[in-house]
Structure 1
Amino acid sequence: MTPPPDLEHSVIVVSPHFDDGVLSLGGLLYRLGRRATLVTVFGGAPVGAVDASDWDRRCGFDDPQSAVRTRQREDATACRLLGIGRLALSHPDNPYDPPDAELDHLTDFLTSHVARESTLLVCAGIGNEDHARVRDAVVAVRTAADGPSIWLYADLPYAASYRDWGTPGFTAGIREREKLLFDPLEARFRLSPEHWTELDAAQWQAKRDAVLAYASQLAPLGRTHGAFLSLPGPLGQELIWRLEPR
């Protein structure tokens, strides 16, 4: 399946962390190729000497600086495999950055470096508070100015934890189950249309290769999300919704 017509031009996928965009939209990114740029929000190292977070330790790192350097290399490899551009902003990841801190580097990027004719894709925020924080920052900029169009993407592998993932009833179900997440959006936007993609063999192989590039995080992801790389499996389907102002 080809990308929706609205995504045929310059596309920016906003990824909270160094693997979220590829896990959720690797097939779409592969199809878009050079028309797409992956922008990672929490792509910077913490300031000063701090202990490694629980997540970083589970990934095998004893200091956050080495974790960031490794993930930057992994991200570069994944984007090269998909044939897309990349940019890492300098916000430190949670818990190195307070959850109420302003995402000013993201706001500056969106207001100063994104053309009005571009298309932004940002995570819906399913299953992860950091994702919801990034989504809200992107939507706030879009609401404040006549900027580029925005699509939400279903966060994988989190969205696939629901049994109806991959079915026509998923959108209605997730809106009902995640009312605190979706109600504020739906007060201002319509989430329409939804666009499902079932990856073909070539798209799946490209996505799988790119996901495997994020090697440092695969083991802990597997412990919490099971066989998310199986075929057939949850990563073989991707879902986006367009945000249309009411």
Structure 2
Amino acid sequence: MQSIDDPGVLAAVSPHLDDAVAGCGALLAGTPGSTVITVFAGVPDAALPLTEWDRRCGFGDGASAMKWRLGEDDKALHLLKAQPVRLPFLDDQYVRAMERATPKADKIAHALEGVLEKAGARTVLFPVGIFHRDHILVSDAALMLFASKPERRWVAYEDALYRTKPGLLHARLVQFYTRGISLTPVSFRNTNTHRKATAMAAYGSQMPELGITRNEGDTTAPERYWLLSESIKQSPEAGAEAR
């Protein structure tokens, strides 16, 4: 497996306020000064009907839930010595409650590009994009930027918890290939799993509902990364010669 010893300036794109820490927190812990860009960090109106997820997590309204989670994320990223950047897009549960249209991937890509340029990111981590609509949207937005900014190193991290659902990870990786993208498994030299576990514990409001227990479960399993590159397109004539 290829090893990346020096990622340079690193930025991790996170759909929600815990996803980057869950999926690549050990790498963030080993790379202090990284930037974590949370896409769906917008705070909904307190008058919005209470969603089922927020009710299960013990909140009375979405605004209170998001403000609490922002505080949890501040603690987690402080432990990892990472810099937070929050984009104002609303979580899918709030978009559906408001009966609004889902944001387009190109709009998310435009917002991400501005932050990545400002951060001077050399290596960009983003979710493979499994199961959850927000995760897929963020991944698709990153793939748009990969096509236009090949000078950066683009690395997909596996979505913690969702990657354990049978067949979904493999199906998504096949989608990358059909888009003309090759994926090479890579590892990073500097990681810190203990500090990641401490940071994950900061997300106390959602851990029970997500089935996360400290030092147990998928967030403690090895992080896995895929380096993106453009596929080598083979002509039909070349394929015929090979046969």
TM-score, with structure 2 as normaliser: 0.81
Structure 1 stretch 73-82 or stretch 144-153: which is displaced more? 144-153
Highest Rg: 1 or 2?
A: 2
C-alpha displacement of 1:106:
3.3
Compared with structure 1, are the counterparts of its residues 231 and 198 closer, same or farther at alpha carbon in structure 2 (3 Å cutoff)?
Answer: farther
Q: Distance in 2 between matches of 1:56 and 1:39?
A: 22
- Structure 2 CA distance for aligned equivalents of residues 218 and 8 of structure 1: 30
Residue 238 of structure 1 aligns to a residue in which SS? Answer: coil
Equivalent residue number for residue 165 of structure 1: none
Q: Which residue of 1 aligns with 2:77?
A: 79
In structure 1, the residue matched to 2:156 is 152
Please give the per-residue CA displacement for 1:111-137, whole angstroms capped at 9, x wherever unaligned: 323237521111011232221111001
Report the Cα distance in structure 1 between the residues aligned to 2:225 and 2:46, rounded to whole angstroms: 38
1:185 counterpart = 2:176 = yes
Point out where structure 2 has 5 or more consecutive residues left out of the alignment: 232-243
Is 1:134 the equivalent of 2:138?
yes
Q: Is residue 205 from structure 1 mapped to residue 194 from structure 2 by the alignment? A: yes
Shift of 1:8: 2.4
Q: Is the 8 A contact 1:126 1:158 kept in 2?
A: yes
Task: Check 1:234–1:85 CA distance in 2 against 1; reply closer, same or farther (3 A cut).
Answer: closer
Residue-by-residue CA offset, 1:172-216 (whole Å, 9 max, x unaligned): x7664x2xx233311211001x1257998xx23211110010111
What is the rounded CA distance, in whole Å, between the counterparts of 2:188 and 2:8 in structure 1? 18
1:238 Cα deviation after fit: 0.3
Aligned-pair distance for 1:100? 3.0
List alignment gaps of at least 5 residues for structure 1: 163-172
Give the corresponding residue for 1:243: 228
Contact 1:14–1:120 (CA<8 Å) still a contact in 2? yes
Report sequence identity in percent: 28
Give me the whole-angstrom Cα distance separating, in 2, the residues matched to 1:199 and 1:99.
41
Counterpart of 2:66, as a letter, is V
Alpha-carbon contact 1:195-1:239 (below 8 Å) kept = yes
1:1-246 equivalences under 5 Å are 4-5=4-5, 7-34=6-33, 36-47=34-45, 49-97=47-95, 98=100, 100-102=102-104, 106-115=108-117, 118-146=122-150, 148-161=152-165, 176=170, 178=171, 181-187=172-178, 188-192=180-184, 194-196=185-187, 203-222=192-211, 229-231=214-216, 235-246=220-231
Instruction: Select between 137-146 and 74-83 the one with higher mean Cα deviation.
Output: 137-146
CA shift digits 1:8-49 (9 cap, x unpaired): 211110010011110111110000011x11111110112573
Aligned to 1:216, what secondary structure does the other structure show?
Answer: coil
Q: Answer whether contact 2:128 2:159 (CA < 8 A) is retained.
A: yes
Cα shift at 1:146 = 4.4
Structure 1 length-normalised TM: 0.80
Please tell me the residue identity of whatever aligns with 1:195.
V
* Runs of 4+ that moved beyond 4 A: 173-176, 196-200, 231-234
